[in-house]
Amino acid sequence: MSTITAQPNQLISTTVRTGLALSAIIGLGNLPFVFLDIDWGADEPPFAMLLLAAVIGMVSVVCAALAWNAGNRRLIRLNAAALIVNAVMVVPGLFVDTTATIRVTTAVIIVATVAAVVLTMRRSDMPSRVVD
C-alpha cells in the first residue's frame, strides 16, 4: 500500500486562494460602512444591519485567513456562507431610492461575492490521498 499526501500549504489551489483573497477584501470592505458618514439617500439602513454586516465581514476575513493556511474545507464553506449572507443583505441597495454610488457599490459587492464563492468552492484537482 502506498500513500501520497500533500503538504498543508499545498492542499488548496491557486484559484481557491484567489477566491479567499477576494473574500477577505470583501469582508474588510464591510467595516467602513459602520464608521463613515455616508449619504445613503432617502432610505438609510438601520445601524444594526450595518453592524451585522461588519461582523459577517470579520467572520469572512478570519475564515479566509485560517483557510489560506490550513486548507480546511469547513472554513471555506463557512466563508462562502458568510459571503452569501452579506450579498443577500446588500441586495435591497439596488432597489431603494438611493444615490448612484450606493447602487454601483452594491452591484460590485454582489458580482465580487459571486466570483469569490465560485472560486473558493471549486474542487482542487490535486489528490490529497491515493491508496492502492
Q: What is the DSSP letter of 44?
A: P
Rounded to whole angstroms, how far apart are CA atoms 78 and 72?
Answer: 10
Q: How many CB atoms lie within 10 A of CB 50?
A: 20
Q: DSSP for 49-113, please give it.
A: HHHHHHHHHHHHHHHHHHHHHH--HHHHHHHHHHHHHHHHHHGGGGTSS--HHHHHHHHHHHHHH
3-class state of residue 116 by DSSP? helix
The pLDDT of residue 132 is: 57
The pLDDT of residue 65 is: 92
The pLDDT of residue 72 is: 84
Mean pLDDT by 10 residues, the chain (132 residues): 47 84 91 72 76 91 90 90 92 82 88 93 64 58
Q: Domain coordinates of the chain in residue numbers?
A: 12-34+44-119
